A and B are shown apart, each in its own frame.
Chain A
Amino acid sequence: MSQIVLDTLIVAASVLLATSAIIALYRIVRGPSILDRMIATDVVLASIMCGLGGFMALSGRTDLLPVLIVLAMLGFVGSVSVSRYVSKSDSMTPGAEVGSLSDFSSSDWHMPKESADDAEGDSDTGTRQQAQSAVGEEWPDDVARGISDVADGPDAITVQEDEEPVTVGLDQGTDPGADLSAEPVADPDAEGEGMGTGPDSGPEDSDDGERTGPEPEEDEGGRR
């Protein structure tokens, strides 16, 4: 009796692992970008590791344990090296705008239309909080959770063109009022010397005294 239960469990686990590997292979073939393919490769590798572990547990081949280490190292090295050399032209994600890094900021994406006119008087962070909640609520739930039927691949790039007038309208509303008036006043004194008091990294790689303070903080902020 228990032998039947054991066989059933083993066959079910094998079917699940094979199905997951096949679905991940579909994502590797179909995946819009190379990062999606890399994640799917990691899932295939995890399925292989789980299957190999199950094989070891059920058949006693514990001499195959170094293969698990090799597979783990292979997944890590593959992910890191591929994601290191991803370029911006690889992005085929529908709805992702392709442009320079300067227009990729929260000031022209998270400012709603109703608070764009009174953005001059308010503090910057308060309007940003309201902006994100308002933007988050105007999308339907299935789109926001990512389970809607938005086709991926090069056919759905037209989604990007549908969203284009919204960004243009937000640009005209926010940029002359909020950004250009707020940033040059606040930045050179408050941000520069304010950060200079905190993390003092020492004089090891500095060419002048002003640079020692803001450099590590700025590096961290830009790379995260």
Chain B
Amino acid sequence: MILDIISAVLILLGGVLSLAAALGLLRFGDLLSRMHASAKPQILGLLMVAVAIAIQYPAWSTVTTLAIVISFQLVTIPVATHMVGRAGYRTKHLRRSMLYRDELAEAVDRAEAREAAWERRRGSGTDHNDG
């Protein structure tokens, strides 16, 4: 019975994290802020729910499948979030006034200066930056 209550509390914590992400989606005003909010239940909430399942049914088949699910989330969620953030930065989905500092803009400046210098040396207008 104690284990039931512990697993129920873990599921409740997963629900709290999910609600926090939804409120962040509702309240925040920018793509990057919403990304910051929405990453919480995808890994931590799911980890809590997986621990709840593993407490209730501690069999090897269950635990290994849960480990597959959690490790898959741990691998894919940063990749997907990185892709979304990169696309948002490139297509200007972010509000510049909400940034305290933009370290990527300096790197973009340096890359563009290097590109311009290289094309000035080559003397041709071929575009290598269409990724």
Contacts and interface: CB of A to CB of B under 8 A. Distances in A.
Interface of A: 2, 5-6, 9-10, 12-17, 19-24, 26-27, 33, 35-36, 38-40, 42-43, 46-47, 49-50, 53-54, 56-58, 60, 62, 65-66, 68-69, 72-73, 75-76, 79-80, 83-84, 86-88, 90-91, 93-99, 101-102, 104-107, 109-110, 128, 132-133, 136, 139, 143-148, 150, 152, 163, 183-184, 187-188, 191-192, 195, 210-211, 214, 217-219, 221-224
The 6 A-B pairs of least Cβ separation, nearest first, read: A16-B15, A53-B49, A106-B105, A221-B111, A79-B80, A20-B22
Given A35-B93, A146-B98, A73 B72 contact: yes
B19 A150 contact: no
Nearest to A69: B69
Contacts of B101: 110, 132-133, 136
21 contacts: A2-B5, A9-B11, A17-B14, A20-B22, A35-B87, A39-B25, A43-B18, A43-B41, A46-B46, A53-B46, A62-B61, A65-B62, A65-B69, A79-B84, A80-B79, A83-B84, A93-B95, A133-B101, A150-B29, A152-B29, A218-B118
Given A73-B72, A143-B98, A187 B22 contact: no
Contacts of A76: 76-77, 79-80
A68 B11 CA distance: 15
A38 B112 contact: no
Contacts of B8: 6, 9-10, 13, 58
A94 B96 CA distance: 10
A170 to B, nearest CB: 12
A207 B49 CA distance: 54
Interface string B81-111: 1011011101111111111111011111111
Given A27-B25, A136-B100, 4 more contacts: A20-B22, A98-B92, A143-B98, A144-B98
Given A43-B41, A144-B100, A224-B86, A218 B108 contact: no
B22 A96 contact: no
Contacts of A27: 22, 25-26, 34
Interface in B27-75: 27-31, 33-35, 38, 41-42, 45-46, 49-50, 52-53, 55-57, 59, 61-62, 65-66, 68-69, 72-73
Contacts of A136: 99-101
Contacts of A69: 65, 68-69, 72
B6 to A, nearest CB: 10
Given A35-B31, A72-B76, A96 B115 contact: no
Contacts of A95: 95-98
